[in-house]
Every structure is written in structure tokens, then in C-alpha cells.
């Protein structure tokens, strides 16, 4: 099988050995964790980095004139360098730490949306966005008189590019905010083509990279992106830390999102001035331990390398699609040409929640529901789907276990 | 293989989940409400018609959801027929207690009928599937609009 060749550069046993949780059993069976798109498991390096900080090297950052604070600041700020290199950002000061992708998108919607966009302008999203890339724009629309336009998708689950371009033609679109990889369909959007087209019509582009950055090397300069958001906990890091990258001149032009400590130049009762970017957008004591954990997670990803990660994902995805196609009554939702390791499916005669419970009973963890993408579900004519999603530790045998279990689910509800 | 799942998916649940007997809107009704579980997308609407002495003559529902929620709605519609609102409220309390604890009082014909749903207590994420139709029914009886299951 050529799949074996393609994963040759990734030592799956060595990788799995780094994730303590993968040794757990669930309901008496080995854990088969196929819900990484919701949140990924954590490698030893991340766990150790956070524990090490708490046990040996912890104080508040950016302010202490003492050894502990200086060392902690170095470790925390080191993650900013790692994050910048991860996505090939030209300047470490363009990396803004947020709580998660949702925090990053809300920052853009609030600061760029209200501070730079003008009433009467429009924002374009796509029909396959997570709620976190829908609701902030609805709030901007209602508060600031911004029109919200939705670019349709094809029945295959790909961006309808001609229709997308039509939405840009009147020149009123200030920003395109779009997923880089759908959390439901696994579709990768044609990012470089999106930015080229949007820029031709004078619009900036923000990518929600929550899923994409897990599987593919992201180069914000090659993509010619303007904003890029991702979250730590899907990238094998801790919860509570996310990243917004934006071009420096955009960050400079944007007003702060939240006020507080750490984001000011000086404060008097009459007026305050803002710190330079990125600190202007980082009010309050940050997620120090989580920032340190994210640094370790990026180090873990770098050690494997995106070539091996992407090849593994492609191999798993091909294998899963082939196995699921063999099962009568199981339908994979979406058939994009360029797709990755997030696979939604339905089972004839069984609701997605019942499917998930039956799989759980065999130790297989999948997600079931609307996946925080209700408008997409309506577009697809579905109430819910089950979803299997893969991480760097996922094996072909786990996908085989899913396929075997799905045959049994069919029998159970027959 | 799924023997251990029969505690949750008993035959009566699979049967009523697949072929509900009361799964339609009533042509004539005097109370209705929707139930909505925004976390998972389950929705149910319940219709009720009372007779002249204030007892429920008939209940019906339309639902979008899993086998557990459909079966629960169907068994609920079956057992509330002929009962007063006060009776139904007591039954709803007992049912919700059973869904959470797995325990139900013996010797009650209605609870005996609902007992196959007791298995959900072992699946915390599925308890609300079973209780959502009851939330909707109570909202209908209270004329309080729609119900949400947390």
C-alpha cells in the first residue's frame, strides 16, 4: 500500500509514546481518540513545560525587576518568536496572544471592524464557517452598520469561487473573513487565490486557521494574508492561548480591544496612551503558563515537521474515505478536491448522537452534532453529523477500528 | 458486541424511536410548546388537547433528534393521556429523577412504561435527550412559551 510509504518519515509509535493519555482505556477498551478537531491531546513536552514553569520558574511577566519575572518573561516571549516562525510572520511584534481563535476573531471584528471599517462597507464570510467566524461579524453588522455577505459553497463543499468574486465586485467589501479549513467538511479553501482576488477589489483577508495550522505549513507571506487566527489547544498545546497575526501597519491603525494593565504607555485620569504593538492588544496579565505550553507545542510540531505531518494526514484521510466508502449506509459529507483529516458522516437509520454513543461504547471518541456550524448544516440539509478527525498520533488501525464499529452500528439500528 | 448497550437502547426504545405512535401534530389542541437543546440541535414540539374535565385527552409531538429523544417523547405522549395536569407534573418530576439516578418507584404503571429510559443515567450527555420532551410538555401546560434544555 503506498500509504505506508508516505508515512515513512513519521514514526507513529514514537509519537504516540509522547502522549500519556493515549495509554488510557475507556470503558475497558483502548482509547481511540478521533476528536482532535475539537481539541487535541497533549504531548509530554507541553505537560512538562507547564509543570516545570509552575514548579521552578514562575512569576508575572513584563513587570518584575527580579530574576523569576525576567526568566518567566523570556520563556513566555519566546513563544512569540516560535509562533512568528511557525507561520513565517516577518516580525515577532505582529503576533498578538489571545485566549483562542474566537478571541482573535473578536479582536479583529472589534478593533479593525469598528476602528477602521466604515458603516456601509461589507464583510464577506463563507457558508462553511464555525460560529466563531459568523457571530462576531453579525455583532459588528448590528453595532456599526456593516453589511454581512455570505459566499456560497458548492454541493461538493468547496467555496463557489465565481459567486465569491461576485460579492467583491462593487468594491464595498473591506474584509474577507474565511476559514482556511472547514471544521465540518475538512475542505481547505484556496487561500492564495482568495487573497489575490480580494486584494484586487481592495479588501483585506483574515483566515480562521484553527484547523489548517494543525495539518499544513502556513506561510502568511506566501499566502499574502492580512490577518491569520489560530488556537493553541488544537495544535497540541493548552487551552486558553490563541494567536492573532496581522500585518504591522494594520495593527498600528487599529484601536485597542480591551483596556487595562500591560497595554498602556502611560495613564492619567485625563488620558492614557497605548503600548506599542502587540502589547496594545494584550490587556491584563496574560495566560503565562499557557503561553509557555504553546511554545512547547510548537516545538513538538517543529520536531516532526509539516512535511511528515501533512503526509500522515493525507494518508489517514485517503484511508478513512476508502474504508467508509465500503460501508453500506454510511455517507461522507463533502467531497472537496483539497480536503484533510476532518470527516463528517451520516449513518442511515441512526441519529448522529446514537452513532456517537455506540462508538463511545467501543472506546471510540467522535464528535456528533452541528459542530458549531448551524448555517452550514442547514445548507447541507442536515440536522447533525458525526465527525471523525485526526491528529498526528492517529493510526490507520484506529480508522480500521472505526470502520468495523460503524458496520456494527448499522447492524444495531437495522 | 453491543450487549452492554442494551441497557440504554432497550428494544422498546429502538422500536418507539424508529416508529413513534404519537409523532404528529394534533389537528385540535389547546396547548403547545417547543423544546430546544441548543448544544446538540435537538428540537421537539409538543401539542396537547384537554377534555372537558381538564384531563389530557391526547398528546402528540414532532421531533428532530436521536432515538432516545424520539422514544422518550413517544412514551411520554402515551402515558400522559387521561391524566390531569397536576398528575403529569408529578410524573415529570419522577421521570427526571429517574433519568438522573436510574431509580424509579415500583408499582406505578406509568413509571413502569417509562422505565426503559432509566439507562440514560449512565450517560450524562444523553440525559437531556430523554428529558427535553418533558420540559416542552411542562412549558405547554404552563403556557409559558418554549423550553430550553441546558
Nearest-CB residue to B64 (from A362, A374, A383): A383
Q: Is the pLDDT of residue A4 over 70?
A: no
The nearest CA of chain A is from the CA of B51 a distance in Å of 35
Selected residue with higher pLDDT from B108 and B33: B33
Return the CATH number of A47-303, one of 3.40.50.300, 3.40.640.10, 3.90.320.10, 3.40.50.180.
Answer: 3.40.640.10
The parent domain of residue B71 ranges over 3-148
- The C-alpha cell at A264 is 498602556
Q: What is the pLDDT at residue B149? A: 59
Q: Is B41 on the interface with A (CB under 8 A)?
A: yes
B50-72 tens-digit pLDDT: 999 999 999 999 999 999 999 99
A313-347 tens-digit pLDDT: 999 999 999 999 999 999 999 999 999 999 999 99
Q: Do A353 and B126 touch (CB under 8 A)?
A: yes
Domain count, chain B: 1
Q: Is the pLDDT of residue A132 over 60?
A: yes
Q: Is A191 on the interface with B (CB under 8 A)?
A: no
Q: Do A351 and B66 touch (CB under 8 A)?
A: yes
CA separation for the pair A80, A91 (Å, rounded): 10
CA separation for the pair A373, A370 (Å, rounded): 6
The nearest CA of chain B is from the CA of A384 a distance in Å of 7
- The C-alpha cell at A89 is 510572520
Q: Do A369 and B40 touch (CB under 8 A)?
A: yes
CA A221 to the chain's CA centroid: 19
pLDDT band of residue A2 (cuts 50, 70, 90) is very low
pLDDT band of residue A290 (cuts 50, 70, 90) is very high
A212-242 tens-digit pLDDT: 999 999 999 999 999 999 999 999 999 999 9
Q: Is B19 on the interface with A (CB under 8 A)?
A: no
Q: Do A353 and B4 touch (CB under 8 A)?
A: no
Q: Is A67 on the interface with B (CB under 8 A)?
A: no
Q: Is the pLDDT of residue B11 over 60?
A: yes
Catalytic residue ranges of A: 372
Q: Do B2 and A384 touch (CB under 8 A)?
A: no
Q: Residues A53-61: contacts with CB within 8 Å, 24+ apart?
A: A53/A288, A53/A289, A53/A292, A54/A289, A58/A288, A58/A289, A60/A285, A60/A288, A61/A285, A61/A286, A61/A288
The residue of chain A nearest to residue B15, with distances taken between CA atoms, is A413
Domain of residue B79, CATH code? 3.90.1010.10
CA separation for the pair A96, A193 (Å, rounded): 25
Mean pLDDT of A183-193: 97
- From-to residues of CATH 3.40.640.10 in chain A: 47-303
Mean pLDDT of A176-191: 98
CA separation for the pair A66, A133 (Å, rounded): 41
Enter the pTM of the model. Answer: 0.92
Please list, in sequence order, all residues whose beta carbon lies within 8 angstroms of the beta carbon of residue B2, skipping any fewer than 6 positions away.
A358, A361, A408, A412, B9
- What phi and psi values does residue A234 have, to the nearest 5 degrees? -85, -15
Quick one: which H or E segment has residue B114? helix B109-114
Select from B66, B34, B70 the least CA-distant residue to B144: B34
Return the CATH number of A2-30+305-413, one of 3.40.50.2000, 3.40.630.10, 3.10.20.30, 3.90.1150.10.
Answer: 3.90.1150.10
Contacts of A357 in chain B (CB under 8 A): 5, 8, 123, 126
Amino acid at each position: 500500500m503506498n500509504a505506508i510509504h508516505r508515512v515513512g518519515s513519521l514514526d507513529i509509535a514514537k509519537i504516540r509514546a509522547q502522549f500519556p493519555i493515549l495509554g488510557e482505556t475507556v470503558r475497558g477498551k483502548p482509547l481511540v481518540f478521533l476528536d482532535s478537531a475539537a481539541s487535541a491531546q497533549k504531548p509530554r513536552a507541553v505537560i512538562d513545560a507547564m509543570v516545570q514553569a509552575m514548579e521552578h520558574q514562575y512569576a508575572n511577566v513584563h513587570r518584575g525587576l527580579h530574576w523569576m519575572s525576567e526568566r518567566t518573561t523570556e520563556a513566555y516571549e519566546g513563544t512569540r518568536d516560535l509562533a512568528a516562525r511557525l507561520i513565517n510572520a516577518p516580525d515577532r511584534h505582529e503576533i498578538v496572544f489571545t485566549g483562542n481563535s474566537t478571541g482573535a476573531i473578536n479582536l479583529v471584528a472589534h478593533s479593525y471592524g469598528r476602528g477602521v471599517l466604515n458603516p456601509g462597507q461589507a464583510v464577506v464570510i463563507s457558508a462553511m464557517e464555525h460560529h466563531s467566524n459568523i457571530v462576531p461579524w453579525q455583532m459588528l453588522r448590528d453595532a456599526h452598520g456593516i453589511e454581512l455577505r455570505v459566499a456560497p459553497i458548492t454541493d461538493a463543499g468547496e467555496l463557489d469561487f465565481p459567486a465569491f468574486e461576485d460579492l467583491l465586485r462593487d468594491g464595498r467589501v473591506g474584509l474577507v473573513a474565511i476559514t482556511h479549513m472547514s471544521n465540518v467538511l475538512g475542505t481547505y479553501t484556496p487561500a492564495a487565490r482568495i487573497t489575490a482576488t480580494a486584494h484586487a477589489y481592495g479588501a483585506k483577508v483574515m483566515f480562521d486557521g484553527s484547523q489548517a495550522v494543525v495539518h499544513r505549513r502556513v506561510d502568511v507571506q506566501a499566502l499574502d494574508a492580512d490577518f491569520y487566527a489560530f488556537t493553541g489547544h488544537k495544535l497540541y498545546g493548552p487551552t486558553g492561548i490563541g494567536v492573532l497575526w496581522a500585518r504591522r501597519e494594520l495593527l498600528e491603525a487599529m484601536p485597542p480591544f480591551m483596556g487595562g494593565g500591560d497595554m498602556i504607555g502611560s495613564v492619567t485620569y485625563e488620558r492614557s496612551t497605548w503600548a506599542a504593538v502587540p502589547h496594545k492588544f494584550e490587556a491584563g496579565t496574560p495566560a503565562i503558563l499557557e503561553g509557555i505550553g504553546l511554545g512547547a507545542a510548537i516545538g513538538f510540531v517543529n520536531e516532526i515537521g509539516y512535511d511528515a505531518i501533512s503526509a500522515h494526514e493525507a494518508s489517514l484521510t485517503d484511508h478513512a474515505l476508502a474504508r467508509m466508502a465500503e460501508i453500506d449506509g454510511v455517507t461522507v459529507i463533502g467531497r472537496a478536491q483539497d480536503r484533510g483529516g476532518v470527516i463528517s458522516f451520516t449513518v442511515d437509520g441512526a441519529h448522529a448522537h446514537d452513532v456517537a454513543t455506540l462508538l463511545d461504547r467501543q472506546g471510540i471518541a467522535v464528535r456528533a452534532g452541528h459542530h458549531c456550524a448551524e448555517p452550514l448544516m442547514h445548507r447541507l440539509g442536515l440536522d447533525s453529523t458525526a465527525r471523525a478527525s485526526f491528529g498526528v498520533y492517529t493510526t490507520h488501525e484506529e480508522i480500521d477500528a472505526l470502520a468495523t464499529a460503524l458496520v456494527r452500528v448499522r447492524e444495531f439500528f437495522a | 458486541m453491543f450487549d452492554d448497550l442494551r441497557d440504554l437502547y432497550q428494544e422498546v426504545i429502538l422500536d418507539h424511536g424508529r416508529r413513534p405512535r404519537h409523532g404528529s401534530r394534533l389537528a385540535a389542541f389547546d396547548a403547545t410548546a417547543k423544546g430546544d437543546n441548543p448544544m446538540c440541535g435537538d428540537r421537539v414540539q409538543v401539542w396537547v388537547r384537554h377534555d372537558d374535565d381538564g384531563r389530557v385527552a391526547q398528546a402528540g409531538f414532532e421531533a428532530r433528534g436521536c432515538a432516545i429523544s424520539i422514544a422518550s417523547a413517544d412514551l411520554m405522549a402515551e402515558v400522559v393521556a387521561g391524566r390531569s395536569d397536576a398528575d403529569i407534573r408529578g410524573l415529570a418530576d419522577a421521570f427526571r429523577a429517574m433519568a438522573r439516578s436510574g431509580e424509579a418507584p415500583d408499582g406505578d404503571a406509568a413509571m413502569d412504561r417509562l422505565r426503559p429510559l432509566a439507562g440514560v443515567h449512565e450517560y450524562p450527555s444523553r440525559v437531556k435527550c430523554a428529558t427535553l420532551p418533558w420540559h416542552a410538555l411542562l412549558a405547554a401546560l404552563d403556557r409559558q412559551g418554549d423550553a430550553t434544555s441546558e
